[in-house]
Structures are given as structure tokens and as C-alpha cells.
Amino acid sequence: MLKSQTRLAAAATAAFLLSAPLAAWAHHGWSSYDAAKTMTVEAKVKSAAYRNPHGEITVDHGGKTWNIVLAPVARMEARGLAAADVAVGKTVTVVGYPRTDGVAEIRAERIIAGGKTVELR
């Protein structure tokens, strides 16, 4: 019995240690965005993920599908941006910074959704 518990603990520890770098890699820093170049995009939400470490939506703009990186859920909720405000089919206006490497992704600084303007940073 003790041997199987030790194996289970070792397997759980190994799984955690292997997954930690993936989580860190998935959560990118802000240095890959061009803070000198502001973009404004008004479009309907194509997909939405209201989750941590930060929310994300996708929109079609200029012939591309753009990934919009939002703020953490707690910050969005504290500032009045509910999941329903950025749901699929809703029209939003996003002001933010595009990636420097040409990937169709924007770090949102503010969003106009559900009849209100919300500062995300």
C-alpha cells in the first residue's frame, strides 16, 4: 500500500514539474507588442474565452482573424466587463497594441463593449 502511494505521489510531482514550464511558456510577456503603434479595431466577436490568466477574443478585421488578448477575469469584472459583453456575436471596439512580429494579435488596452468603455491595464 505504501509503495503505491509513493508511486502516485512521484507521478503527480513529475506531472506538475513537466506542466509548469508549459504554463509559463503559454503566458507571454508584453515585450512582443509594439507600444508605439496603437490599433483600433471594431468588429463582431468570433470566439471568446473569458478565463485566466487573461481573457481572449477573436475578431475578423482587414482580411485576417485577430486574437485579442484581454485582462485577467478578476480585473475585467472589477471594472465592469462581464463575459456577456464580449460574447460571440457582440460588436466590440478594441484599442491596443499589435505584435511586433506580424502575428495577428493585439494586446488590448481598452475595450468598448456592452455600451461602456473599460480600461484593461
pLDDT at position 22, please?
43
Q: What is the reported pLDDT for 107?
A: 97
N residues, the chain? 121
Residue 80 domain flag: yes
* CATH code assigned at 108: 2.40.50.140
pLDDT tens across 47-89, in order?
A: 999 999 999 999 999 999 999 999 999 999 999 999 999 999 9
In a domain, 108, yes or no: yes
| Helix/strand/coil for 107 | strand
Residue 73: which domain range? 30-119
pLDDT, tens digit (0-9, with 9 covering 90-100), for 17-28: 444 444 444 445
Distance separating alpha carbons of residues 37 and 15, to the nearest angstrom: 40
pLDDT band (50, 70, 90) for residue 31 = confident
The answer as to whether 100 is a domain residue is: yes
**pTM here?**
0.75
Is residue 112 domain-resident? yes
Does some domain include residue 48?
yes
Report the number of distinct structural domains present in the chain. 1
